[in-house]
Amino acid sequence: MKSDYEILGLEEGADEKEIKRAYFKLVRQFTPEKAPERFQEIREAYENLKSGKGKAVLTFTIPDDPFAKKMLEQIETRYRQHVYWEALETAEEAVRRFGESEGFLYYLGLLQRKNYYSGKSVKSFEKLVKLYPDKVEYAKELAISYLERGYGKKAYAAFGKAYDMGCREIDFLDSYAINCRERGDEERSFALLLEVIAAGSADKKEYMMQLLDAHTGLFVLCMECGGQRLEQAKESLLKFMGEAVPYMAEYLEDLESLIKNVMYVCNDKGGTEEKFLTDVFEYLKQGLGRDKAEALWMKNMKRIRVLMMEKDARISDFILAAYEYLTRGSGWEKAEESRTLFERFALLDVKLCILEEWPEIRKEFEIIRTEYPDCYKVFQGFIETLEQTKSIDFLREKLKKEYDRMELDVSGGKYYEKYPERRRQENVICDGYEEEPYVRMQPKVGRNDPCPCGSGKKYKKCCGKA
């Protein structure tokens, strides 16, 4: 079984900040309705590892029996030690001996959930809520059990009930916001995220992760709701950033995610948010320093332009695929002499595919050049060559000659797969002599295969660099 750290993708002994960062990243990716089992696993791991600061202290009624008190102490001790299986066995035995008293039933429900018996946990907390309808803690735990079980509709109602009873814990509000968004209630989700921000603002250092995540959520909802709440999200973000300047340097990765979503929403408004973006950038400079702020800003600006290009109906899937292929890894702009054999082959592969579609796709590159200049840089050199060449056929044969030579050692090219008629089948005439086509006797060496030279390294790290 994976450890809690492994579930969150962390090294053993990760600190609380790293635990929170991993949790908030994963629960947005694996939502309760789309991936209920994975969501439950992630949340349980987080609950196990977090400090538990601010958790309500509960008092329970149990049978007035010395052995019952001893069993409850044993359950609580094992629970604090995260020995959940032993604690569950003790809780089950206590219920068999003394019946479904409040204390034993509460821990039974918690421990069933922590041991991934979410269906049984739901039943235990349903009983508790029926027995003690005025206790907000049980209403909250029932809502969380519904959510982790994947009962989105029931969770939505249970969260609302616990909220009406006064539950305002930050983690509860965050889970409720996730559930509302999944149920299509963006307005309530937006309002709940604002409550998370209000609750966490009293101690920004302690709740910096939740505050960054909540503001990211606000702008994601602005995208989904068509931007009706954008002014409120902007006002909240500027207030937060002005007060969070002292802590920004520790949360560079999380700021990247926030700024990406902020810029995406604002760029979708057609340049009307320039003043707001300037203010955000000024706060970033104060918190990170000019160099880091500019690097983060430009990195996200490039991402936004790529996203905008991907949404542009005038740009074909062929061009988008070529862009993605070229920018994966080292990209097009890397110096020729520093490219590996595989990178040079991939570059030729894309060039030949573009050449085959030329000049029909010329107008698309003109759109990219004028509206997405950062993206155009990836293609610029070769497009200029195509514009200036006097013979496309001559250029094709020149590129194919090198491509065919490399293809003897490298696999994975798309050119002949896409344009099989271009593969030369006949014998080659060279200097007046007819040569037989080269037939390879040994299988090609893949980039991750051991190098044939016997060095013990992968081919791409050894002879494949040549």
Q: Average pLDDT, stretch 340-364? A: 87
412 or 91: which carries more pLDDT confidence? 91
Q: Are 307 and 429 in contact (CB under 8 A)?
A: no
| Residue 283 CB neighbours (<10 A) | 19
> For residue 57, what are the CA distances in angstroms to 54, 137, 288, 387, 413?
9, 10, 39, 74, 63
Cα distances (angstroms) measured from residue 428 to each of 413, 424, 436, 438: 22, 9, 7, 10
First to last CA, the chain: 44
107: pLDDT strictly greater than 90: yes
Residue with tokens 């969770």: 155
Does the pLDDT value for residue 364 go beyond 80?
A: yes
6-52 confidence digits (pLDDT tens):
888 887 777 777 777 777 777 767 776 677 777 777 877 777 776 44
Look at residue 334 and tell me whether its pLDDT is greater than 70.
Answer: no
pLDDT in tens, 246-268: 999 888 888 888 998 888 888 77
| Start-end of H helices in 30-135 | 36-49, 66-80, 84-98, 102-114, 118-131
| pLDDT tops 50 at residue 359 | yes
Average pLDDT over residues 324-342: 62
Contacts of 26 (CB under 8 A, 6+ apart): 8, 9, 42
Residue 272 pLDDT > 50, yes or no?
yes
Q: Please tell me the distance from the alpha carbon of residue 82 to that of residue 276, in angstroms, as a whole number.
A: 47
Q: What are the backbone dihedrals phi and psi of residue 26, each rounded to the nearest 5 degrees, phi first?
A: -75, -40
**Residue 444: predicted pLDDT:** 63
What are the C-alpha distances in Å from 389 to residues 62, 355, 392?
A: 88, 11, 7
In 3D space, the residue among 25, 69, 67, 60 whose CA is nearest the CA of residue 45 turns out to be 25
pTM of the model: 0.64
The rounded mean pLDDT for the chain is 83
Predicted confidence (pLDDT) at residue 139 exceeds the cutoff of 80: yes
Percent of the chain at pLDDT > 90 equals: 31
Instruction: Point out the least confidently predicted range of 12-26, 320-334, 384-398.
Output: 320-334
pLDDT at 452: 64
Q: How confident is the model at residue 270 (pLDDT cuts 50, 70, 90)?
A: low
Residue 157 has pLDDT above 70, yes or no: yes
Q: Which H or E run contains 281? A: helix 274-288
Any idea of the CA torsion for 158, 162, 167, 171, to the nearest 10 degrees?
A: -10
